[in-house]
Amino acid sequence: MELADVRPPRWLRWATVVAVAGGILYASLLDSPSSGLPALGPLGLFGTDKWLHALAYAALAASLASVLAPGGRPAVVAGVAALLAVGYGVGIEFVQAPLAARHFSVADMVADAVGAGAAVVAWRVLAGLTGGGRTGSRPESEI
C-alpha cells in the first residue's frame, strides 16, 4: 500500500489548511495576548510566543504541502508551501501593526519562517522515505 492510498480526500486537506489559517488569524488578531504563559519556552532559549509562532506556521506549511503534493515535484511543493506560510505570517504582522493590543515584530516573522522551514524539510524527508511526494498514476480526483 502506498501513501497515496491512505491520503485524505483533497477537500479535507483544503479544509485543514483553512482551519489552521483561521486559527492563526484568530490567535493573532482577535484573541487577547496570552498573559498566563511562561516567558521562556522549552530549553529556555526563546520566548514561549516564538515557539507558538514556529509551531503554528509549521502546521500551516505542512498542511499546505499535503494539499499541493499530488502532481508536484516534492522540492517545489516544499518551497511553495513554505513561501505561502511565511507570506501569510508577514501579512498578519502588517495587519497587527496598527492594533493597540498587538505589535509588528520581525522576530515573530523569523519564528514563522523557522517553523515553516522545519516543517517542509521534515515533510520532504518523509515524502522521500515513503514515496508520498512522487506523482502517482492515479488522478487527484480519485485520491
- Asked if residue 142 belongs to a domain, the reply is no
- Asked if residue 141 belongs to a domain, the reply is no
Q: Which of 44, 53, 30 is nearest to 105 (CA)?
A: 53
- Asked if residue 115 belongs to a domain, the reply is yes
* pLDDT tens digit sequence for 74-95: 889 999 999 999 999 999 999 9
CA 74 to chain centre: 16
Mean pLDDT over 61-79 rounds to: 89
* pLDDT tens digit sequence for 37-54: 666 666 667 778 888 999
State the amino acid at position 46 in one-letter form: F
Estimate the crossing angle of helix 48-68 against helix 74-96, to 10 degrees. Answer: 140
Virtual CA dihedral for 101, 106, 112, 113, nearest 10 degrees? 170
- Asked if residue 1 belongs to a domain, the reply is no
- Asked if residue 13 belongs to a domain, the reply is yes
Which range marks the domain in which residue 94 is found?
A: 8-33+40-134
C-alpha cell at 73: 515535484
Cα–Cα distance for residue pair 12/75, rounded to 1 Å: 23
> Number of structural domains, the chain?
1
- Asked if residue 3 belongs to a domain, the reply is no
Higher-confidence position of 17 and 47: 17
Residue 70's pLDDT band, with cuts at 50, 70 and 90, is confident
- Asked if residue 130 belongs to a domain, the reply is yes
Least confident of 33-37, 60-64, 114-118: 33-37
Higher-confidence position of 104 and 129: 104
